[in-house]
Amino acid sequence: MLASTKVFLAGSVLALAAFPARCAEEASNVAVVAAQTAVVKCPGVTSIPLTADAEQALPLRIVGNLACGEIVSVISESEGYTAQIRRKDGQEGFVALIYLGSERTTPAVEKRQTISAQPVNGVVRWAAGAPGCDEFLSHGRHVESISANGITVQVSIEDSGWKYRANVAVSNQSGQSVEIVPGIVTLDELTPNLRSLLATSPEKLAHTTTHQVFWTLANGVPSKSAVANYSANASENERLANRPSPTPDYLNPHLALVSTHHVAFERSESVDIESIALKSGSVPSGQITAGVMWFERENNAHELSLRVPAGDLVYDFSFSFEQKK
């Protein structure tokens, strides 16, 4: 199973590989599905898994692998992020919509990012409902997304009880390459104390034989201060159902195998930590990169700020943890 899904764990640059967000139904009725046929796009991998279920829930039930450039018939969509397809040999299954491109046009996701957040002194800050800002749930994780100057950065934060785990994805549609350097990504505690939380190298974590690297005791949610200005009277469910700037989910499927279990002394050696860690490198225009970072955990921290430099801007995300273990 691990070998079959290893393509989903790569932190390396992938070309437009992600699931469109569930709630962006109005944006998901794209030319790819309207067409009778579609071509399989392979973003940095040799093949794309074809699954038996539309949700592509774990463990994946793979029924086949689609080859790069393979022409398939699109039968229907499912919840806006997968499509049911039929191969020339009659085999049917489900594939992430973003892996399908029109034979005449490029994948529709390239045209979705039209609203840009406004930077202030080189920083764009996430705020619920603000132009260029989006939020959605991905495998139970609350994802915050900022789009500005053709670059979309998406993050989620989880508390393992030992480390904070930050999931980061960057989609570059800016027209030029963008450098991503994990060493300058920062996580700061804002309340109750102001302090920086140091990153832990994936190499060090890989040599820890018993750890909580993939445990999840709590998922970070948007800080109240980042919600009040635009959505003070809206509940989380209302915000998730009414997204003014919907974006695809660039974090999936790259991080789909990160565990949500927290059984005492659970071991995680079966997952290659270094392979899913966020990598340094140049992201060409039209491609994305995604990966994981780990930071020191502060037991009493309530509000956190995760800053991801990309291009000429710093993308600033605010999270909080309502419950501490």
Say whether both 220 and 286 belong to one domain: yes
Q: What is the dihedral of CA 166, 171, 176, 178, to 10 degrees?
A: 10
- What residues make up the domain containing 253? 123-320
Domain boundary residue among 63, 78, 108? 108
| Single-letter residue type at 207 | H
Q: Please say whether the beta carbons of 73 and 85 come within 8 A.
A: yes
227 is a domain residue:
yes
Say whether both 314 and 181 belong to one domain: yes
Say whether both 77 and 49 belong to one domain: yes
Distance separating the N- and C-terminal Cα atoms of the chain: 32
pLDDT of res. 287:
87
115 is a domain residue:
no
Say whether both 140 and 92 belong to one domain: no
Phi first, then psi, for residue 274 (nearest 5°) are -65, -30
Q: What residues of the chain score a pLDDT lower than 70? A: 1-35, 42-47, 58-59, 78-80, 103-114, 209-211, 228-233, 253-271, 323-325
Question: What are the angstrom distances between the C-alpha of 155 and each of 78, 87, 210, 240?
Answer: 25, 35, 26, 16
Going across the sheet that includes 62-67, the strands are 62-67, 47-51, 92-96, 82-86, 71-78, 37-40, 100-101
Say whether both 228 and 135 belong to one domain: yes
pLDDT of res. 324:
47
Say whether both 169 and 272 belong to one domain: yes
Enumerate the H helices of the chain as residue ranges.
Answer: 25-28, 31-34, 202-206, 224-231, 236-241, 273-276
Say whether both 282 and 309 belong to one domain: yes
Say whether both 292 and 244 belong to one domain: yes
10 is a domain residue:
no
Say whether both 237 and 130 belong to one domain: yes
Domain boundary residue among 73, 108, 143? 108
Say whether both 147 and 215 belong to one domain: yes
CATH classification of the domain holding 58:
2.30.30.40
Say whether both 129 and 277 belong to one domain: yes
Cα angle 136-142-143, degrees, rounded to a multiple of 5: 65
Count CB neighbours of 281 within 10 A: 16
**Number of structural domains, the chain?**
2
Domain boundary residue among 108, 136, 161? 108
